[in-house]
Structure 1
């Protein structure tokens, strides 16, 4: 890591050397995101660099009684050959929370960007299931100057029939895995799907998932379940398979 700058409550807690990559732990030293908070994170990956970014715990969004909400803005700029993996812990939306997340990625030729996300419906053991106000999630990916992917997910439990058949039905947690690289080809969705089909399913915690190519240079996995941990297992399997099938990389190993 050549340079870093942060202000409270966000900081780089620690970096960990890997075989040919660097793992970075981002820490939020507050109890979580409160109404009016806006976190802005900008990452610049140099040519040929490899980085794995995660955080220390769930991103907790507290109640927003005034309706202003909390916001997260993330920007990733990748030089040629950069390899960025953004794997945060799940998002936890408390009762009356309102949260907007906006991520923009700029890819150069030969670079690769991955991200896995899990959305929790609230503190389920406290009866908070879809009791939040709104979740607005946006992702835009550019290859050079071309917009190759744009996604928006807006969930408003009070006005949407989330438990209806054809919507979320009996599922409460949602997860996604994205990979964007000009090395992706038509064989890679089948490889990821095969890896996910090989995972054991736990009774009562079954995961529904789908794998597809995006319009250009992208692969997407969407999954739904009744808890966070089965989704994390599925997305980790997709990530591990993608590392191997697309880039010939082994699973990450932290040095002892």
Structure 2
């Protein structure tokens, strides 16, 4: 799927799109000066051998909020097979992209590779939140997937400023070891990249998260740090997807206000 966006009469508008089944843009909708984009997967999820490729091109000064309808579900993959998703974000000067997708759910014996590339222009902002579920817990599938390979690279004016790889193979790793996952089941992350990010933003975000109310019986652990250049990262661990989503949404709201001077998104009924 490919989609491009540009300003038309001062508003962000979709100027081109192409897709092949089973993924498509279900709809676009206005969001107080932004354009919301809802992506749909009309299949049950990614099956063995499936490969999704998505390209998002945000023209100068556009404002995009991207989301999807439901969890990204990855079905069992027999040995030697896997499913994959590759996403590329081209964020022109002064453009904003907020990529806020639903969690990833890996079924028993699933193998999944997720690759993300981001290309930033001057004054642009790119944010993303991710939550990884350990499997269908009510079916007893906790950490029964085969492989999760998550990679990200971020470029600012053609210079790579961030690269990371997360490789999880539950059958061969001691996930419950001290200093690893211990007894946590769900992990999540929030990334924000912009040439406007300074150390004060990490301090502000850390203070905002510390002020969130504690939920009895729902412990959570998180950390906030700056990246090598022009970036900020939040890592969080917990026992349910919703509690991670709640914290990451708070981080997103703070950075929307700090960098973009925008209020929280309020969805119209």
Q: Which of the residues 85, 94, 103 maps onto 1:90?
A: 103
Asked if the contact 1:60/1:93 (under 8 Å) is kept, the reply is yes
In the other structure, the counterpart of 2:19 is: 6
Higher strand share: 2
Shifted more, 214-223 versus 66-75: the winner is 66-75
Residue 87 of structure 1: CA displacement? 0.5
1:1-256 equivalent positions in 2, closer than 5 A? 1-255=14-268
How far residue 247 of structure 1 moved from its aligned partner, in angstroms, is 2.3
Match of 1:179, SS state, is: strand
Determine if contact 1:49/1:82 at 8 Å carries over to the other structure: yes
Using CA pairs below 8 Å that are at least 6 residues apart, which structure has the higher relative contact order?
1
Quote the offset at 1:130 in angstroms.
Answer: 0.5
Segments of structure 1 that go 5 or more residues without pairing to the other structure are none
Note the C-alpha offset of 1:248: 1.6
Number of aligned positions between the proteins: 256
How far residue 218 of structure 1 moved from its aligned partner, in angstroms, is 0.2
After TM superposition, the score normalised by the length of structure 2 is: 0.93
SS of the residue 1:109 aligns to:
coil
Q: Which runs of 5+ in 2 are unaligned?
A: 1-13
Show structure 1 runs of 4+ deviating over 3 A: none
> In the aligned structure 2, how far is the partner of 1:203 from the partner of 1:254?
29
TM-score normalised according to structure 1 size: 0.98
